[in-house]
Amino acid sequence: MTRNDTPASDLDAPVDYRIDADQTAWITLNRPHRHNAITSDLTAALTTGLRQAGTDQARVTVLQGAGRAFCAGHDLVEEPQSDAASRRWAQGLQDVTRAMRQLPCPVIAAVHGYVLGGGFEFALSADLVIAARTATFGFPEVGVGLSVTGGVTMLLPRLVGPLRAKQMLLLGEHLDATQAAGLGLVNWVSENDDLPARVKNLVKQLLDKPALSTKLAKRALDAGLENGLEPQLELEVGHLITASASPEAAAGRQAFRASKTR
C-alpha cells in the first residue's frame, strides 16, 4: 500500500502497452513515482491492455512494473467515498482478473520490489510468475481496514492451502521471493540483474511451443479450477481432438518420426 499527503498526478499513461514482431505483448504498470500503486485509472488501463493483447492475437503476454517495484497495492490517496464507489473499485480489480484469465495466451508476471495487495492479486492471476530475488510479497489489506478482491479467496487457498491462506491474509505477513516460491506462488526466482534476460528466455520457450496446444492447455487448467471431474474429462477429449487435427500437430508428429530414424 502507498500513501502520500501530496499525491503526484500521472504525467504518462498509467499502463504502457506494446506488441512486438513475434506477437509478444508487453504490458508495463507505469506509475513508478508511486511504486505502481493501483488507482481506478490503472485498473481500467490494465484491463484494456489485456483485452488488446487478445485482439492482437498475442502468443505470450508479459506483465511487469516500471521503476523500483512491480506494484505496491492500493493507492490510499484514492479512497472510495461511498458503497457505490467501493463496488466500482472492487469490480475494476476483478475485471483485471477476468481479463487475465480469459486471455487465450499465457500471461507471465515478471515481478520485483513490492508485490503487495492488488499487485499480489495481479501476480496470482497470471499463468507463470518469475520474481527477482529481492521481491516482497504480502496482503496488507486487513491491517489497513480493507479486504482482498480479484479472486484471491479462491485462488490463494488452492495454491497454499486454507490454513496458510488465512495466515497470510489475517496477519499480513510479508514473504520474500524464496518463501513465495516454496509455497508455489512463484515459479522461478532470478537474480535482480538477470530478470529481463530470464523473462526473454521464458518467452522464447513458450513461443517455441505450438500456439494452439498452448492455448488449450491454459484453458483446460483454468477450467479445472471450477469444473467437476466428468465435465473436465469431456473438455480434455474435445481439446485432444482439436489439437490433433491442427497443422502444428501433424508437423510435430512428422518431426518426431524423423528424429527416431536418425
pLDDT (tens digit, 0 to 9) for every residue of the chain, 262 residues total? 433 333 344 457 999 999 999 999 999 999 999 999 999 999 999 999 999 999 999 999 999 999 999 999 998 777 777 888 888 888 899 999 999 999 999 999 999 999 999 999 999 999 999 999 999 999 999 988 888 888 899 899 999 999 999 999 999 999 999 999 999 999 999 999 999 999 999 999 999 999 999 999 999 888 887 767 677 677 667 676 777 677 775 665 565 566 656 6
Backbone dihedral angles phi then psi of residue 212, each to the nearest 5 degrees: -65, -45
CA atoms of 185 and 130, how far apart (whole Å): 10
Whole-number pLDDT of residue 190: 97
149 and 121 Cβ atoms separated by less than 8 Å: yes
Buried b (16+ CB within 10 A) or exposed e, 70-82: bbbbbbeeeeeee
Whole-number pLDDT of residue 90: 85
Whole-number pLDDT of residue 230: 79
**CA angle in degrees (0–180, nearest 5) for 100-24-252:** 100
The question of whether 248 is a catalytic residue gets the answer no
Other residues' Cβ atoms within 10 Å of the Cβ of residue 255: 10
DSSP secondary structure, 9-60, as one string: PPSS-SEEEEE-TTSEEEEEE--GGGTT-B-HHHHHHHHHHHHHHHHTT-SE
Whole-number pLDDT of residue 187: 98
CA atoms of 164 and 161, how far apart (whole Å): 6
Architecture, CATH, for domain 15-207: Alpha-Beta Complex (3.90)
Q: Each residue of 218-260: pLDDT tens digit?
A: 998 888 877 676 776 776 676 767 776 777 756 655 655 666 5
Whole-number pLDDT of residue 252: 58
For 115, 162, 202, the CA distances from 177, given in Å and listed in that order, are: 10, 21, 18
pTM value is 0.88
Query: HSE on the CB side for 100, CA within 13 Å?
Result: 27
The question of whether 121 is a catalytic residue gets the answer yes
CA atoms of 72 and 63, how far apart (whole Å): 15
Determine the length of the chain: 262
Q: Which residues are 109's β-sheet partners? A: 63, 129
Catalytic residue among 78, 79, 121, 226: 121
74 and 37 Cβ atoms separated by less than 8 Å: yes
183 and 129 Cβ atoms separated by less than 8 Å: no
Whole-number pLDDT of residue 71: 98
Cα dihedral across residues 135, 141, 142, 143: positive or negative: positive
Whole-number pLDDT of residue 3: 35
Q: Which residues are 171's β-sheet partners? A: none
